[in-house]
Structure 1
Amino acid sequence: MAESASNIPSKKLIQIDVSSDTVCPWCFVGKKNLDKAIDASKDQYNFEIRWHPFFLDASAPKEGVNKKEFYQLKFGSRVEGMFTRMSEIFGSIGLDYDTSGLTGNTLDSHRLIHYAGKHAPDKQHSLVEELCLGYFTQGKYIGDREFLVETARNLGIEGAEEFISEPNNGVTEVEEEMKKYSRNITGVPHYIINGKVKLSGAQPPETFQSAFETASA
């Protein structure tokens, strides 16, 4: 006999607030690990994930600059070792780490992520995925509004082009989110799970799963 709906225990809700930057490779690695943990735990919990801005370099230029040259100036002789290490890490999750293309200021990407969170919250997590795939594996420039708009359009996020074309849209909201979620942290990715369990760094899936259990107790 089928079990009646009243006898089926309801799944607990896990709310995850993530502070990250769209040019932070460890943030993307952390997202992929988080996704694995969520997939392994979906029979136990329902998940609500909210993405919040962080700026690794708020002074990065709005216009795109050569990615390799920018990081060479920033990190000096360490940069090649860093690129090699990230290539290994990305390879371990089935991705090719692309160091070609441009880098720069991430404000527009955070404005778009904020917009998605308000107007298409069910698509915000996928938007972060696609923006990071473009930047880290396809040589796309994270500050290119055509790339941002195309990504949003492909996901069916309506109104994104009109929103992003006005440079002041969302700026105040991004600043407010920074103050609320990222003011007291010094690095990303940073996770707050159900408002009480905090994790930093690209944690392995098992660590996230353990955090889900603790946060839902």
Structure 2
Amino acid sequence: MNDTTSPDSTRPITVEVWADLGCPWCYIGKHRLEDAIARRPDRDRFELRLRSFELNPGAPHTPETIESAFIRSHRGDAAVVLRAERQIQAVAQSEGLAFSLDRLNANTFDFHRVVHHADEQGLGLAFSTLVQDRFFAGELNPFDVDALAATAAEVGLSADRVRDVLAGDTYGDAVRADVAEGRALGAQGVPFVVFDRRFAASGAQSVDGYAQALDAAAEAPAGVA
């Protein structure tokens, strides 16, 4: 009989990340999590999966500047959001990440639908990572259909199929299901990371913080959720 109370050093471990495209801390947190995984000798055990979450489902589909989005939604001074953006920019740049202050803001539901399409092809992580990295570097407008389709083609997806997805409503239910599941697990914001369906971490943790969570997931007794 197998001992299901001892750690199994070979079993795969899924790490799920609920995130939104335009969330700066999702961008930083994901890279920290990947760094923590990459430092492990058993890194190949960990499968990183991105799950959909909409921070602002009521955002317009027409892109606007970050300042305009803040004024529209908070009726506040744009200087407040710009000050916060510069503080996050400093953090990102200190960790070697590009961070443009000239990004656009818009509804991300369609982007999440394309991620679900990419995920069916085994390319969800590669696609979403490339889009988000270029978005925060100020190199890509992910709300432009042709730009998003061309980026999808770079990771091996069909640009024409991506255009078809964007023109319709496929994968909409999958996005909504992700959001609902994340909330059911306790997500009130993002990033929200679930380790092996055993425990979760809210907000962007440090690399060391993620490393401790990975240790805990790896050392948990097999067969105990």
Note the 1:49-68 alignment, pairs <5 A. Answer: 49-68=48-67
| Equivalent position of 1:190 in the other structure | 192
> Counterpart of 1:12 in 2: which secondary structure?
coil
CA contact under 8 A between 2:59 and 2:107: conserved in structure 1?
Answer: yes
| Equivalent position of 2:4 in the other structure | none
Using structure 2 for the length normalisation, give the TM-score. Answer: 0.83
CA distance in 1, matches of 2:138, 2:93: 14
| Equivalent position of 1:181 in the other structure | 182
Structure 1 residue 101 displacement after superposition: 4.3
Amino acid at match of 2:145: R
Amino acid at match of 2:165: I
Structure 1 runs of 4+ aligned residues shifted over 6 Å read none
Bigger mean CA deviation after superposition, 103-112 or 70-79: 70-79
Could you list the per-position Cα deviations for residues 40-89 of structure 1 after superposition, in whole angstroms to 9, with x for gaps in the alignment?
01435512121111111111011112233222444523212111111111
Structure 1 residue 13 displacement after superposition: 1.7
User: Cα gap change, 1:195/1:163 in structure 2, threshold over 3 Å: closer, same or farther?
Assistant: farther
Structure 1: any 5+ residue segments left out of the alignment? 1-8
CA distance in 2, matches of 1:20, 1:181: 10
Note the 1:7-46 alignment, pairs <5 A. Answer: 11-43=10-42, 45-46=44-45
Superposition RMSD on alpha carbons, in Å?
A: 2.0
CA contact under 8 A between 2:195 and 2:217: conserved in structure 1?
Answer: yes
CA contact under 8 A between 1:14 and 1:212: conserved in structure 2?
Answer: no
CA contact under 8 A between 2:63 and 2:104: conserved in structure 1?
Answer: yes
Amino acid at match of 1:214: A
Structure 2: any 5+ residue segments left out of the alignment? 1-7, 221-225
Of the three residues 101, 111, 115, the one matched with 1:113 is 115
CA distance in 1, matches of 2:194, 2:63: 32
Amino acid at match of 2:42: D
Structure 1 residue 30 displacement after superposition: 0.4
CA distance in 2, matches of 1:72, 1:189: 24
| Structure 1 residue 147 corresponds to structure 2 residue 147 | yes
CA contact under 8 A between 2:114 and 2:162: conserved in structure 1?
Answer: no
Structure 1 residue 162 displacement after superposition: 4.6
CA contact under 8 A between 2:67 and 2:82: conserved in structure 1?
Answer: no
CA distance in 1, matches of 2:103, 2:124: 25
User: Cα gap change, 1:213/1:144 in structure 2, threshold over 3 Å: closer, same or farther?
Assistant: same
Structure 1 residue 160 displacement after superposition: 4.0
CA distance in 1, matches of 2:43, 2:55: 35
Of the three residues 205, 208, 211, the one matched with 2:207 is 205
> Counterpart of 2:113 in 1: which secondary structure?
helix
| Equivalent position of 2:132 in the other structure | 132
